[in-house]
Amino acid sequence: MSRHLAKEVLSIEAEGIQAVRDNLGEEFEQAVNLIMACPSRLVVTGIGKSGLVGQKISATLNSTGTPSLFLHPVEAMHGDLGMVAATDVVLAISYSGETPELNRLLASIRERSIQIIAICGNTDSTLSRHAAVTLNVAIPREACPLGLAPTTSTTATLAMGDALAVALLNRKHFKAEDFRRNHPGGSLGARLKVAVREVMLAGNKVPQVPMSASLADAVAELNAKNLGAVFVTGKKGALLGIVTDGDIRRMLSARQNFLEVTLAEAMTPHPLAIASDLMAADALSIMQQHEITVLAVISGQGDLVGILHLHDLLGKGEFRFLI
């Protein structure tokens, strides 16, 4: 019963985001242009659930190259309004557009000739009338069966914030190295900064056999190193192919003459590989995209120098698929 209800909630929330997507118009481009022209910060404000969503939107903006701060409407009216500069742009969030604490604040902000962007579900509201641009997040219904608790509406608002952040990221040509500079500490920062050569296995830990070896030799190496794959190399160490546990299992079930299969028949030529001077983040991205757990590491000349296993990247929980 609970599982069916959960599916219904997710369907309703997906329906809400689809409605917001379908209603998206030129006002989104106007909002992006307004923020791009801002010489200082985007001040995000809202109260209650909208305030909590606003804090997340502000955090996402900061990490993706758009300077932002969150301003609580009540604290603003008791002195924190001094945080807002005349050159700032305000992003105000209220689904109803009639939140008294927020609208009182916006009247003071307008007196300072500060531009306001609204994220609102009611374009005929006080908030919308205060705003230079309104991003409409009207949804057909809340997932709450009572229609009272903000559920679909907060999801739609959060999605609109993400859309803004990504659009701004794209306009600013924000790169992975910029993201790393904004995340110098913590597990995410560590994951993005570690070079492949720092986490790869090298030397005799790398499962490999020469092209002249037999399939039996490859299976023995596969079992000895226990990493789920063995690489096939040329005379000077050039990476030629890979044989995985899965390859062996499939051949055992499909070939009656398994012992007569050659290494050249068994291997997958030109396997995916990564250069040792690239980042662990790049390796994670390749593994996720191709749904693999091992990756060859090569030198600039294409020689096999190491192996990356997903477990080595995940470590003790310091690495996650976030790309």
Mean pLDDT, the chain, whole residue set? 87
Pick the CATH number of 196-314 from 1.10.760.10, 3.40.630.30, 3.10.580.10, 3.40.50.360: 3.10.580.10
Please list the residue range(s) of the chain that carry CATH number 3.10.580.10. Answer: 196-314
The pLDDT tens digits for 236-293 are 889 999 999 888 888 887 777 777 788 888 899 999 999 998 888 888 888 878 888 8
Question: DSSP assignment, residue 210?
Answer: E
Task: Report the side by side order of strands in the sheet with 42-45.
Answer: 68-71, 42-45, 89-93, 115-120, 133-136
Please say if the pLDDT value at position 315 is more than 60: no
Q: What is the largest CA-CA distance in the chain?
A: 85
In terms of Cβ atoms closer than 10 Å to its own Cβ (0-12, 13-18, 19+), residue 253 is exposed
What is the per-residue pLDDT for 184?
A: 60
Band (323; pLDDT cuts 50, 70, 90):
very low
Per the CB < 8 A criterion, the answer to whether 278 and 197 are in contact is no
What is the per-residue pLDDT for 157?
A: 96
Please say if the pLDDT value at position 193 is more than 60: yes
Residue type, 230: V
Task: Report the side by side order of strands in the sheet with 294-298.
Answer: 273-275, 294-298, 304-309
- The CATH number of the structural domain formed by 2-174 is 3.40.50.10490
What is the per-residue pLDDT for 320?
A: 41
Please list the residue range(s) of the chain that carry CATH number 3.40.50.10490. Answer: 2-174
What is the per-residue pLDDT for 24?
A: 95
What is the per-residue pLDDT for 254?
A: 77
What is the per-residue pLDDT for 146?
A: 81
pTM: 0.61
Average pLDDT on 46-57 reads 94
The pLDDT tens digits for 121-153 are 999 999 999 999 999 999 999 988 887 788 999
* CA dist 33 → 26, 117, 162, 225 (Å): 11, 11, 16, 56
With CA atoms as reference, report the closest residue to 266 among 304, 298, 199, 219: 219
Pairing status of strand 239-244 against strand 268-269: antiparallel
What is the per-residue pLDDT for 185?
A: 57
Please say if the pLDDT value at position 66 is more than 60: yes
Band (316; pLDDT cuts 50, 70, 90):
very low
Please say if the pLDDT value at position 5 is more than 60: yes
What is the per-residue pLDDT for 186?
A: 56
What is the per-residue pLDDT for 318?
A: 44
Minimum mean pLDDT among 7-11, 137-141, 142-146, 295-299: which range?
Answer: 142-146
